[in-house]
A and B are shown apart, each in its own frame.
Chain A
Amino acid sequence: MGKNNVTRRQFLSYTLTGVGGFMAAGMLMPMLRFAVDPVLKADAGGEFIQTPKKASELTSEPTRVDFTYKQKDAWYESDVTSTAWIYKDDNGKIVALSPICKHLGCTVNWNTDKAHPNQFFCPCHFGRYEKNGKNIPGTPPPQPLDLYPVQVKNGYIYLGKAQPRTHV
């Protein structure tokens, strides 16, 4: 989410250096739009996005939920699909984990490694995580899986921007 191809600092330095003065005037326009773009701001500020999953459908078993939202970068708007692993913990609290492996960014799956059932498994370098997202020592990931903030509105699950955690 919110992956900008050019950071604002880089962008400013592009407009200030190297490019002829006559170009700089022309480039001010897109720069302003880039700076105040409301979609971009909402993304960074943590807007909640609706998923197709109802809270009542959740069990204690993590299920894969895909959700789509619009993302705008400097040039165009596109539909981005993200995934969360969602379950209800023992206290009935909804837990939504990012599937992005904290090692090098592959996508983890639930319960696919036969030798280690009921864990998240990353096929790339065999990283493993407990159900709550805690990275298992001795496998490559250095951190727990990111956690999505969760809201329930009209029965549906809404997710915010996934947050990194240092420990679980």
Chain B
Amino acid sequence: MHEMKWIPEDIETYLNVKEYVDTVVVPLYGISMDKEMKQSAEAAEFITLLTTRIERQFTGRLILFPPFTYLKKDPIEKALADLFEWHNVLKADFKHIFYLTSDSDWRLKEDMLQGTLIWLPSIPLKSMNDSQKFELIDNQSQQLFSILTDKWIESE
């Protein structure tokens, strides 16, 4: 077992070891068109790189959920209401629920969210070479790792 993603093979593994997997990570992607389109794609790429790293690091205890996507042109309250629905489904199976996003609108709603919201401003990776990219993502990931492990240790 080296991965825990939303693909049939991994889900089968998950069902076999469910009792050990108490954590879920859900990426939140705001989708924009027009002028903001590029920025919204960059943010999605950034979050994807991070969640992939988290998933690899903690395969045996967490599952990476498909992203929750919403339209940026709609009020954030609408997305919030939908996310509540997701939360209600997820909380039946997972003790720890993490939402990862670079959309700052969620910060204003942080108190209303159950689960842990992790907000990271997106960093445009385009101008970097591969090793700079790797170093940056690695650095950010290490910080995320400790957020997760701290939560786990806290709940022991």
Select A104's contact among B1, B56, B57, beta carbons within 8 Å.
B1
- Which residues 89-107 in A have Cβ within 8 Å of B in the complex? 100-101, 103-107
Is the beta-carbon distance between A3 and B152 smaller than 8 angstroms?
Answer: no
Separation in Å of the A66 CB from the closest CB of chain B?
8
Is the beta-carbon distance between A106 and B9 smaller than 8 angstroms?
Answer: no
**Given A3-B2, A105-B1, A81 contacting B134 (CB threshold 8 A):** yes
Is the beta-carbon distance between B149 and A123 smaller than 8 angstroms?
Answer: yes
* Residue tally, chain A, CB below 8 Å to B: 17
A124 contacts the other chain (CB 8 A):
yes
Is the beta-carbon distance between B149 and A104 smaller than 8 angstroms?
Answer: no
**Given A5-B9, A123-B149, A106 contacting B134 (CB threshold 8 A):** no
Chain B: which residue is nearest A127 at the CB level? B60
Q: In whole angstroms, what is the CA distance A79 to B131 when docked?
A: 12
The SS class assigned to the A binding surface is loop
Is the beta-carbon distance between B57 and A106 smaller than 8 angstroms?
Answer: yes
Q: In whole angstroms, what is the CA distance A1 to B76 when docked?
A: 42
Is the beta-carbon distance between B58 and A107 smaller than 8 angstroms?
Answer: yes
B59 contacts the other chain (CB 8 A):
yes
Among A100, A106, A122, chain B packs the most CB atoms within 10 A around the CB of A106
> Using an 8 Å CB-CB cutoff, how does the interface string of B33-73 with A read, 1 for contact, 0 for none?
00000000000000000000000111111000000000000
Chain B residues, CB < 8 A from A68: 134
**Given A81-B134, A104-B20, A124 contacting B2 (CB threshold 8 A):** no
Q: In whole angstroms, what is the CA distance A100 to B2 when docked?
A: 8
Q: In whole angstroms, what is the CA distance A104 to B83 when docked?
A: 29
Q: In whole angstroms, what is the CA distance A123 to B149 when docked?
A: 6
Chain B residues, CB < 8 A from A104: 1, 17, 20, 59-61
Q: In whole angstroms, what is the CA distance A79 to B134 when docked?
A: 11
Q: In whole angstroms, what is the CA distance A72 to B118 when docked?
A: 34
Q: In whole angstroms, what is the CA distance A3 to B56 when docked?
A: 14
Chain B residues, CB < 8 A from A100: 2
Is the beta-carbon distance between B58 and A124 smaller than 8 angstroms?
Answer: yes
Is the beta-carbon distance between B60 and A105 smaller than 8 angstroms?
Answer: yes
Separation in Å of the A90 CB from the closest CB of chain B?
30
A125 contacts the other chain (CB 8 A):
yes
Chain B: which residue is nearest A112 at the CB level? B149
Chain B residues, CB < 8 A from A66: 134, 138
**Given A3-B2, A5-B9, A123-B149, A107 contacting B17 (CB threshold 8 A):** no
Q: List 21 A-B contacts (CB under 8 A).
A: A3-B2, A103-B20, A104-B1, A104-B17, A104-B60, A104-B61, A105-B2, A105-B59, A105-B60, A106-B57, A106-B59, A107-B58, A107-B59, A123-B58, A123-B145, A123-B148, A123-B152, A124-B61, A124-B152, A125-B60, A125-B61
Given A123-B61, A125-B60, 8 extra CB contacts under 8 A: A3-B3, A5-B9, A79-B130, A103-B60, A104-B60, A104-B61, A105-B2, A123-B148
**Nearest 8 CB-CB pairs, A to B?**
A104-B60, A124-B61, A105-B59, A105-B1, A123-B149, A106-B60, A107-B57, A124-B60
